[in-house]
Amino acid sequence: MTPTAVAETRTQSENLDQLAAVAVHVGLGLKSGQELVMTASTDAMPLARRITEHAYRAGASLVTTLYADDASALLRYRFAPDASFDHAAGWLYDGMAAAFKSGAARLAIAGADPTLLSNEDPDKVGRANRAVSKAYRPALELITRHEINWTIVSSATPAWATAMFPNYAPDVALAKLWEAIFATTRVNRVDPVSAWKTHDAELHKRAAFLNEKRYSALRYRGPGTDFRLGLADDHEWLGGGTTAGNGVYCIPNMPTEEVFSMPHKDRADGTITATKPLSHQGTMIEGIQVRFQHGRIVDARATRGQEVLQKLIDTDEGARHLGEVALVPHSSPIAQSGLVFLNTLFDENAASHIALGQSYSSCVRNGDKLSPEELAARGANSSLIHVDWMIGSGQLDIDGVTASGTAEPLMRQGEWA
């Protein structure tokens, strides 16, 4: 049996422990003596506790977990005064930034109810999101600049499971979601750590190939999509793990199937249609179609959640421009599961995608050492938001366009050509 084969006999509890171990040792690469700041929903407590145990056994000096509670979040929309929605716990985010600066690692457990805020006033939802984005910015910058080791893993939660599997009894839905998480994060393999090492090496190989090609643009063609995307000057393709500024090797997303880079913020033209619904901060946006001109969204439509989409791109000027381009083959385990997770961490790794808003400075050569002005000169985008949306499918063709203007087939029908 190879280390990457599926371990058939492991119980759910054993798989949960494997997930926690992989999160701490492979995702975070937590160092002995390092502090850990974790965020989780109260529904994710069993996983948070396993992670806490593995972190202390790896030598963590202190694990601090900030729990959020969905029911309490809804009470705010019911009873808080209107001014509440322009307010965020700035002191908390300042504290997180201070912890990161003093050497703490960051782990987020995702697993939110994708429809939690669907029935709330979109204006209040938009204002509250904006207030948090603003307050969180200094901490987020340390993460997007990869100054610290960080990762995101997911816990199945009852509300998420029910949203994904509405035709099953709640306990069956929850078990099905756990099974899907273990499969797509390679935690169900005989040796999850070595399965991750193999996968990580493949992603690095793919990124190296694209870096050698140095395409100046990508050309997309598919149903509802006819789009040309210029890449940033000195762009770098990344994939899999990375060595953070603090010297720790980490794999920031689990699962991760993408190789990604930086588009030039002023070089996107044409029409692009989303291939999956986007769950954004508790609301669903479906049937997204946008038109770009010189990198800027000039027309945005959605068949559902149009108002939220409009608010999102009105966040600031950078929210109308692109900050990430990512390629994912249609044969990724997540795409092959055939499931829509209603969760960006999974769905973005099921399909090629682009992101509105903030770009990652690590996606240009020596980007982490460049000033904001130097980054902008190479085409980097700046925004309070970074929102991925899925444009890949088994019907998408992508060409790489060389500096001399020749187009080469890069992906055909969703697969590497």
Q: Residue 177 CB, nearest distance to Zn ion (Å)?
A: 22
Cα→Cα distances 50→32, 56, 123, 337, Å:
17, 10, 38, 26
CB-nearer residue toward Zn ion: 48 or 153: 153
Instruction: For residue 51, count CB atoms less than 10 angstroms from its CB and return exposed for 0-12, middle for 13-18, buried for 19 or more.
Output: buried
Query: b/e string for 59-70 if b means 16 or more Cβ within 10 A?
Result: ebeebebeeeeb
What is the spatial distance between Cα 40 and Cα 154, in angstroms, rounded to a whole number?
9
**Interface segment toward Zn ion; rule CB under 5 A; list 82-90, 160-168, 303-311, 348-356:** 348-356
In the complex, minimum distance from the CB of residue 280 to Zn ion, in angstroms, rounded to a whole number: 13
Encoded one letter per residue, x for contact with Zn ion by CB under 5 A and - for no contact, window 252-291 reads ------x-x-------------------------------
User: Quick one: 371 exposed, middle or buried, by C-beta within 10 A (0-12, 13-18, 19+)?
Assistant: exposed
Q: How far is the CB of 388 from Zn ion (least distance, A)?
A: 4
Nearest approach in angstroms of CB 344 to Zn ion is 8
Is-cis flag, bond preceding 333, omega within 30? no
Task: Provide the residue type at 374 as one letter.
Answer: E
Give the residue with the Cβ less far from Zn ion, 23 or 238. Answer: 238
CA atoms within 13 A on the CB side of 8: 2
Report the nearest approach of Zn ion to the CB of residue 405 (Å): 27
- For strands 386-390 and 353-357, give the pairing: antiparallel
- Chain positions 239 to 258 lying near Zn ion, rule: CB under 5 A, are 258
Element (H, E) at 325: strand 322-327
Please, how many CA atoms are within 13 Å of residue 146, restricted to the half-sphere of its CB? 23
Contacts of 46 (CB under 8 A, 6+ apart): 16, 155
Binders of Zn ion among 358-417, rule CB under 5 A? 388
Nearer to Zn ion, 178 or 360 (CB): 360
Q: How many CB atoms lie within 10 A of CB 230?
A: 23
Q: Annotate each residue in 11-50 with x if it binds Zn ion (CB under 5 A) or - if it does not, as one string.
A: ----------------------------------------
**Rule CB under 5 A: is residue 326 a binding residue for Zn ion?**
yes
Task: Kindly tell me the burial class for residue 166, based on how many C-beta atoms sit within 10 Å of its own C-beta (0-12, 13-18, 19 or more).
Answer: exposed
Q: What is the closest distance, in whole angstroms, from the C-beta atom of residue 353 to Zn ion in the complex?
A: 6
Structure-token match 């340390």, residue found? 142
Taking CB under 5 A as the criterion, the residue among 35, 70, 236, 324 binding Zn ion is 324
Token pair, residue 400, equals 């790489």
Q: Which stretch binds Zn ion (CB under 5 A): 12-20, 316-324, 327-335, 389-397?
A: 316-324
Q: What is the closest distance, in whole angstroms, from the C-beta atom of residue 207 to Zn ion in the complex?
A: 13
Closer to Zn ion by CB, 109 or 387: give it.
387
Least distance to Zn ion from the beta carbon of 143, Å? 12
CB of 348 to Zn ion, least distance (A): 5
Find all residues with CB under 8 Å of 291, minimum gap 6, and list them: 270, 271, 272, 297, 298, 299, 300
Q: Using the minimum distance from each CB to Zn ion, give the nearer residue, 237 or 260.
A: 260
Distance CA 404, CA 401 (A): 8
**Residue 326, helix vs strand vs coil:** strand
Our CB check for Zn ion shows the closer of 152 and 355 to be 355
The interface mask with Zn ion, positions 54-73, x = CB under 5 A, is --------------------
**Which of the stretches 171-179, 291-299, 320-328, 335-343 binds Zn ion when contact is defined by CB under 5 A?**
320-328
Binding segment for Zn ion (CB under 5 A), chosen from 159-167, 335-343, 353-361, 404-412, is 353-361
Instruction: Kindly state the smallest distance separating residue 362's Cβ from Zn ion, in Å.
Output: 12
| Identity of the residue, 16 or 288, whose beta carbon is nearer to Zn ion in the bound complex | 288
Total residues in contact with Zn ion, by rule CB under 5 A: 6
Q: Quick one: which segment of 98-106, 289-297, 325-333, 392-400 binds Zn ion (CB under 5 A)?
A: 325-333
- Are 326 and 229 a contacting pair, CB within 8 Å? no
Could you tell me the maximum CA-CA distance found in the chain, to the nearest angstrom?
60
Given 112, 180, 355, 356, the residue binding Zn ion (CB under 5 A): 355
Is residue 34 within 8 A of residue 103, CB to CB? The reply is: yes
**Minimum CB distance to Zn ion smaller for 93 or for 389:** 389
Question: How far is C-alpha 371 from the chain's CA centre?
Answer: 25
For residue 71, the minimal CB distance to Zn ion (Å) is 29
User: Which residues are at the interface with Zn ion (CB under 5 A)?
Assistant: 258, 260, 324, 326, 355, 388
